[in-house]
Structure 1
Amino acid sequence: MQALAGFLWWAAVFLSPVVREATLGNLDPVAVAVFDIPLFVVASAVAAFGVKAAALVSAGWTGAVAVALAIYATVTTEAGWGVLGMGAATAGSLIALCLVLLGRVPTAWIIRGPFAFRPAIPRPTAASHVASTFGQIVLFWGFFLAAIPFAVAFLEGRWAVVLLFPSFAAPVGVAVLILASALGISAAVAMSTLGNGTPLPSAMPNHLVIAGPYRWIRNPMAAAGILQGAAVGVILQSWLVVAYAVVGSLVWNYVVRPLEEADLEERFGEEFRQYRDAVRCWVPRGSKTLRSQKP
C-alpha cells in the first residue's frame, strides 16, 4: 500500500502542477524523484516481501526526507502538504519496519522505565497524592495542551496548510474546554482522594476507584484530555491540532488502554472485571449501577 501510494503521488507530481507545487514547492521534482523512487517507492515494495534491508532503507530515507522537507517548508512556507504526506509515510515506514523485524509493533515498550505501571507509595492522608496530582496536571496540561498545540499551529501557518473555521468555532471551543477541564479535574480529585495514588503510571492508585466520573465511564481523564486537545485546536482554528487530538485518542484507545487495563485486571482481579463489564470505556450507560465510594 505504501509503495502504491508513493507511485501514485509521483504520477500526480509529474501530471499536475498543483500537486507539484503543494507538495514540493520550487524543488526540482526530477532531482528528488531520482532518489525517492528507488529509496522509498521501490524499497517499500521490496520490504513488503519481508526483506529487512529494504525496510530499513525505506524507513531511514523517509524519515530523513520528512525532516528535511519540514525545515524547507518552515523556512520558505512552501511544500507544506508534502511535509504532512512524508510525515504519514514515515509513520507507516516505522510500523512496517517493526512488522518486518519483529513481526509486531512493540507497544509494550511505552510502559518501560519511568512510564512503567507501579502502585504509588501508600500515604496516611490523601493530601500528598492530591498535591502530586495537581502538579502533574499543571505539567501535562502545560505541555500537551499549550506548548505542543501552539507549536503545531505555528507550523501550520508556516507550511501554508491552514483551513478556515466557521466564526462560531472559537466560542464553542472555549465552552468545550471548560467542561472538559472540569471533567478532568473531578476525575483527578476522585482518583487521588479515594485511590491512594495518582494518575501517573509510576504512582498509580492502590484502590480501584469507581466514584465520581468513574461511575459513568472508565477513562474520564483520557476523555477529558482528548476533548481538551480538540477544543484547543478549535480555539486556535488549527485543524492540525484537532488532528493531533484525534491521533492521540487512537493511540490511547488502541495502544495505552489495553496495557493499562491488563495491569488493572492483574492487580484488582474480579473487582476490576465486574467494573469493566458494568461501565463502558467512553460512552456512559445507565442500565447498570455501581456502588459509589465515599471519601
Structure 2
Amino acid sequence: MSRSAVSRVAGDRARTWARIYFALQATAGVAWWLTVFTVPWVREATLGALDPVVLAVLDIPLFVVASAVAALGLRPAVVVATGWTMLVTIGLAVYATVTGLAGWGVVAMIAASAGSLLAACLLLLGRVPTEWLVRGPFAFRPAPSRPGSARNVATTFGQIVVFWGVGLAAVPLVIAALEDRWQLTAPLSPPAEAVVTGAGVVLLVLASALGIWSAVTMSTLGDGTPLPSASTNRLVIAGPYRWVRNPMAVAGIAQGVAVGLVLSSWLVVVYALAGSLVWNYAIRPFEEADLEQRFGAAFTRYRAAVRCWLPRNPEPPPTPTAAPDTSR
C-alpha cells in the first residue's frame, strides 16, 4: 500500500473516531440536561445559581444538537459545537471564580472542550496537528558545540529554574487556588493529610534528584542541554539513561504528582498526568524522530535495548556514548 493510501486510511479512521466522540458528547449532553432539571444537587454543582432554562435555550441547540449533527460529519456543526463548548467553558470558569459556585460544571466543560477540540481536528484535518507544538522556540535544534564547556551545565540549571518555577510552582499554585475557590477540594482528616503531604515531600525529593542527575549527565556528556532548541550533539546512554530512555520525563511527572500531594490537590495530580499524555503522544514522536535522524543506528539500537518509561536491568551499552533524554 502506498504512503498516500496509508495516510488516507488513517485519516478515515480518525474521522470515524471523531464522529463517535461527538455522538457520545451529544448523548452525555442530553443526560446532563435531564439531570439538571430533575436532580437539584446536580444543578447546583454544575450551574450554581444560574438559570437552567435560559442556558438550555442556548446550550441544547448549540451543544447537544450541534454535537449530534457533527457526529454525521457536517463540518459547520463541528465548528459550532466546538466553539460553543469552549466559550461556555471560559464563561463558566469566570463565573465559578467570581462566585465560588458551579466548580464541577467547570471541570466537566474543560474535559468537554479538550475532547471537542481533539475531535474537531480529527474530523476537519484527519489528524491532530501536533507538529505545531515543536515549532519556533520549541523546534529541535542542536546546541552550538562546546565540548566539556561548563556553559552547558550553567544553561541547563537556568532551564531547570525556569521550567520548575513555572511548571512545578506557579501553575500548580494557581490550580490549587482555583480548586479551593471552586469548592472542589477533597477533605482529608489531619492524620491522612499528614501522610499524603509526607509522601509528596519524599517523592518530590527523589524525583528532583533524578531530574538533576539526568540533566547534569546530559549536559556534561551530550555537549548540549535538555532544551529542544539547544539539544545535545552526542548520544547519551550513561547514568540514568542506561536504565530508562526518559529519566527527565519520569522525574517531571513524578514531581508534578508530588506537588499535587503536598498541596493536597487532586487537580494538580490530574494536571501532571495530563501533561505526561501530551508529552508522550504529541512531543515524544517528533523528538525520537529527530534523534533517529541525527544519530541513526546508534539511537535505533538504544531504543530497542532500553524502555521508554519502565526501567529494567540494561544490557551492556551498544556504543561508548549514550542517548539524549527523549524528554528534552
TM-score by length of 1: 0.97
The answer for the alignment partner of 2:283 in structure 1 is 256
Question: Which segment is superposed worse, 88-97 or 285-294?
Answer: 285-294
Q: 2:254 aligns with which of 182, 205, 227?
A: 227
Q: 1:45 aligns with which of 54, 68, 77?
A: 68
CA distance in 2, matches of 1:284, 1:100: 37
The answer for the alignment partner of 2:18 in structure 1 is none
CA deviations 1:40-73 (Å, max 9, x no partner) are: 1111111112211111111111111111100110
1:100 counterpart = 2:123: yes
Residues matched between the structures, number: 294
Conserved? CA contact 1:215–1:292, under 8 Å: no
1:192 counterpart = 2:219: yes
The answer for the alignment partner of 1:20 in structure 2 is 43
The answer for the alignment partner of 1:289 in structure 2 is 316
- Report percent identity of matched pairs: 64
CA distance in 1, matches of 2:104, 2:196: 24
1:116 Cα deviation from its structure 2 partner = 0.6
CA distance in 1, matches of 2:281, 2:213: 25
Report runs of 4+ in structure 1 exceeding 4 Å deviation: 291-294
Q: 2:296 aligns with which of 269, 275, 293?
A: 269
The answer for the alignment partner of 1:244 in structure 2 is 271
CA distance in 1, matches of 2:91, 2:103: 12
User: Which runs of 5 or more residues in structure 2 are unaligned?
Assistant: 1-23, 323-328
* Distance change >3 Å, CA 288–CA 273, structure 1 → 2: same
Conserved? CA contact 1:278–1:289, under 8 Å: no
Q: 1:88 aligns with which of 99, 111, 118?
A: 111
Secondary structure of the equivalent of 2:261?
helix
1:287 Cα deviation from its structure 2 partner = 5.5
1:175 counterpart = 2:198: no
The answer for the alignment partner of 2:144 in structure 1 is 121
CA distance in 2, matches of 1:174, 1:81: 28
CA distance in 1, matches of 2:53, 2:208: 50
CA distance in 2, matches of 1:136, 1:101: 37
CA distance in 1, matches of 2:278, 2:210: 21
The letter for the 1-side match of 2:296 is G
CA distance in 2, matches of 1:146, 1:54: 39
The answer for the alignment partner of 1:280 in structure 2 is 307
1:56 counterpart = 2:56: no
1:150 counterpart = 2:178: no
Q: 1:10 aligns with which of 33, 36, 43?
A: 33
1:293 Cα deviation from its structure 2 partner = 4.8
* Distance change >3 Å, CA 18–CA 132, structure 1 → 2: same
CA distance in 1, matches of 2:227, 2:215: 10
The letter for the 1-side match of 2:56 is A
CA distance in 2, matches of 1:163, 1:289: 47
The letter for the 2-side match of 1:266 is Q
